[in-house]
Structure 1
Amino acid sequence: MEQDVRPITRDDLHATFVERSIRELQRLVQEEEGVVAELSRGVMASPQVTSPDSMLAIMATAYNEVARSDPFLPFADSVVPALLALRKTCAVTAESQVCLDGQVSETDLRGRLTDLPLSTDAIDRAQKRLAGDKARLEDQRALKLALEARIVALQNSLASRSTMTAAEQRQEAVDALHAKKRDYDRDTFALLKSLKGFIQNRLGPMLAAEELGGPVVSGMMDIQDDDLAAGFSSQGRPRKVPSAGNSGRLSKQKEDQRQRRIDEIWGPKSGADGGEDEEGNEIEDSCSRDEVTAAAAEMQELTEELLNALASAGGDSSAAYVTIARESAAARFLVRSKVAHFHPRDASRLRLVDFGRELDD
């Protein structure tokens, strides 16, 4: 009686393919181990290579041999590609799950923030980070729009210049330079006007206070005219103005002392006098010079002189120095602000810091 022959199923084929794949991988492992052992014996027997050129030659030879050798390709029915694909799929799935767990929707985030007992400091830090991120996003969007507009302008300019002659191109360049000069002149005028207003309204009282023995600039922000008129103590504090029946006005003697003090520090007032009366007495100008006006005028004159010296120096640092009569509060303020600096060997010479020189170089 003949025995029944069991048909070969798909599981039997798969098991056969797995066994063949295992034997093939084991054979490759043994071959690689043999190569590694042979290389190890060769390294132990050969002297150690220390020359960079020799090491580079060895690496180049190894790369060339690897490039010329046939890559490992499993047989057609091998399960190795499927196993590699399965392992890669599992790894990607796990990483995706971790990423999804880290992503929280806005609704869930609000619910978690409501449930969690967050402190005020943590909320403030989160809000600051959010505000910073929004600001950076707006900056990137503005930069993108500016770049796109610049690209369009360059494309239009290139298209228009392609149809222009050489003379027209030169004239266009000259007109562009004139337009830039007008823009620079307008911006320079606006900056100088703003600087003058700042000196007269904000910086002048603080410079005058420092000159009169008070605190340095920015040491006392709110300085009144009465504080300057009364003066400052040896500790730099403003003296109290005595209350008088004339609604706080100084007497004629105190006003004369104040004017002499102004003339001693800043010199006599400049400009035309008011004239003389019939008896030959000098008539004072209605806009008499006070401490704030004198300090602001000194600061303006010093900055103008420094700017003119730097512009006329032509890149020569030694020719940009300005000789000052005294170390005034204006000069000290410019030095403290890192805008100017004294000569290394002569404290009576001052110059501006040439901020644009590094860009020009």
Structure 2
Amino acid sequence: MAQPYADTIACIRKSTAEMRDLQRGAMDLDAPGTEARLEQTVRELQARVDEQQAALEQLRSSSHVDIQQVAYASGNPRDKLKQLRAVTAAYTGLTTVAPFLPSKDSMLPALLAARALQQNIRGTKQAIASAEAQITANGALLKQEESNLHDANLIEKALRDRTVRLEAQIEDRSQKAPAQLAKELIAAKRAEKKRHDEETQRLGDALNDFVDNYLSAMLAAEELGGPVVGDMLNVENETLAAGFTKKGKAKATKKLVSGKTRQRRIDQIWGSKIAVEEEEEAPLTEAEAADAEMRELIGILFKTLTGPGGGRAYHQLERDSAASRFLIRAKIAQFHPKDAQKLRLIDFGRELDD
């Protein structure tokens, strides 16, 4: 659609360039002669102006009529009629007088033509700019409409396919007995549940691996006063054992920290309920304690989400931990609007705000 407009603009530009070249060529043929002719034309026009000025002054001196007064129509009907007759007589007299024409060698016609041509060129340029802006706007609108049409065609195709599938399902069900339909529905639900269980198990294993291998050490570092989760990716056990300064920098690991000191610190932060299993003899490290807290918190939040509250119930936090803060920053959980000690997982199957 934009091609005809582009061709029109190209023709206008070509014509404008040709007229500009012709004008430039005509004016540059003989510069000295042209200047002399211009001076002669100016003298002729000045002489004509002086002549008309002298005639006007003679008319003013010989007439006792106030020109300012007769310039407007009189309120008296008789005077107004006289004015009209005088104007009619003046026009009648002027029609018999030959109009003033410049001499044969005058530059006045060329100047008038050049001025008209310049005005036409200026107007053409403005029209071209306006047409280009309109074409650009129409092109953007055309692209938007084409995109909308493409989306509408995709939606229409999807609806048609969906309609065909539903009609086929209805026809297939109408030819089967209710008992057969019930068996197929039960089998489909069992298969779907199996797939969901397998996917849940896979995602749970991936989450456990992520928490165990990457997240637990970073959570422990944040709990010990170190950088926020994500700012320090590789956190070693020696770094966690040494701790962090008040500015969040890792302390030097030259001096070893005793096991009792580490255990006391772990008990103070994570609590003594985070304990090792009976068959394990080695005490928990800071990363393992953070790992156990994160697993426990996620488990509690899952039970709260699937519990009797229907996804609206909140879990009461015992303390503000790095694990809860990480779940908030990751947009996995949300605080209660009026209580920052209550937390729940975001149910992505419904709106955020119930």
Letter in 1 for 2:321: S
How far off is 1:349 after superposition?
2.0
Q: Does 1:325 find its partner at 2:318? A: yes
Residues 1:177 and 2:172 are matched in the alignment: no
Paired amino acid for 1:217: V
- Indicate whether 1:313 and 2:325 are aligned: no
What is the CA–CA distance in structure 2 between the aligned matches of 1:205 and 1:149, rounded to whole Å?
51
> Closer, same or farther in 2 for the Cα pair 1:299/1:316, shift >3 Å?
closer
Residue 259 (structure 2) pairs with residue 255 (structure 1): yes
Q: Which amino acid aligns with 1:351?
A: R
Please tell me whether residue 224 in structure 1 is matched to residue 229 in structure 2. Answer: no
What displacement does 1:288 show?
2.8
Taking the aligned partners of 2:247 and 2:318, their CA distance within structure 1 comes to 26
1:56-93 Cα deviation digits (max 9, x unpaired): xxxxxxxxxxxxxxxxxxxxxxxxxxxxxxxxxxx998
Taking the aligned partners of 1:316 and 1:93, their CA distance within structure 2 comes to: 59
Please report how far the alpha carbon of residue 156 of structure 1 lies from its aligned counterpart in structure 2 after TM superposition.
6.5
- The answer for unaligned runs of 5 or more in structure 1 is 1-90, 99-142, 244-249, 275-284
**CA–CA distance in 2 between the matches of 1:324 and 1:237?**
28
Give me the TM-score of the superposition, normalised by structure 1. 0.50
1:164-198 residue CA offsets vs partner (Å, 9 max, x unmatched): 22221122112111111111111111111111111
Q: Which residue of 337, 348, 353 corresponds with 1:344? A: 337
Give me the whole-angstrom Cα distance separating, in 2, the residues matched to 1:264 and 1:351: 25
Q: 1:196 aligns with which of 208, 217, 240?
A: 208
Q: Deviations over 1:7-33 (max 9, x none)?
A: xxxxxxxxxxxxxxxxxxxxxxxxxxx
AA at the equivalent of 1:270: A
Q: Does residue 1:270 correspond to 2:275, yes or no? A: yes
Q: Secondary structure at the match of 2:307?
A: helix
Corresponding residue for residue 166 of structure 1: 178
Report the counterpart of residue 117 of structure 1 in structure 2: none
Bigger radius of gyration: 2
The whole-number CA distance in structure 2 between the counterparts of 1:264 and 1:160 is 66
- How far apart, CA to CA, are the structure 2 residues paired with 1:344 and 1:93? 58
**Within-5 A mapping of 1:47-58:** none
Give me the whole-angstrom Cα distance separating, in 1, the residues matched to 2:271 and 2:194.
38
Deviation sequence 1:81-139 (CA, Å, 0-9, x none): xxxxxxxxxx99846979xxxxxxxxxxxxxxxxxxxxxxxxxxxxxxxxxxxxxxxxx
Kindly indicate whether residue 302 of structure 2 is the aligned counterpart of residue 302 of structure 1. no
Checking the alignment, whether the CA contact within 8 Å between 2:335 and 2:343 is kept in structure 1 is yes
Structure-2 change in CA distance of 1:151 and 1:312 (3 Å): same
What residue identity is the alignment partner of 2:331?
Answer: K
Alignment of 1:99-114 (within 5 A): none
Alignment pair present for 1:187 and 2:203: no
Secondary structure of 2:344's match?
strand
Please list, as runs of the form range in 1=range in 2, the aligned pairs for 1:203-214 lying within 5 A after superposition: 203-214=215-226
Q: Deviations over 1:307-330 (max 9, x none)?
A: 10111034362xx11122111111
Task: Specify whether residues 149 and 183 from structure 1 end up closer, same or farther in structure 2 by C-alpha distance, changes over 3 A only.
Answer: farther
Aligned residue type for 2:310: G
The number of residue pairs the alignment matches comes to 213
1:133-152 correspondence runs (5 A): none
**Which segments of 5 or more consecutive residues in structure 2 lack a partner in the other structure?**
9-154
Tell me the distance in 2 between the aligned counterparts of 1:306 and 1:291: 23
CA–CA distance in structure 1, aligned partners of residues 205 and 282 of structure 2 = 21
Q: Which of 1 and 2 has higher RCO (CA within 8 Å, sep 6+)?
A: 2
* Mapping for residues 25-174 of structure 1, pairs under 5 Å: 94=4, 157=169, 160-174=172-186
> CA shift at 1:336, angstroms?
2.1
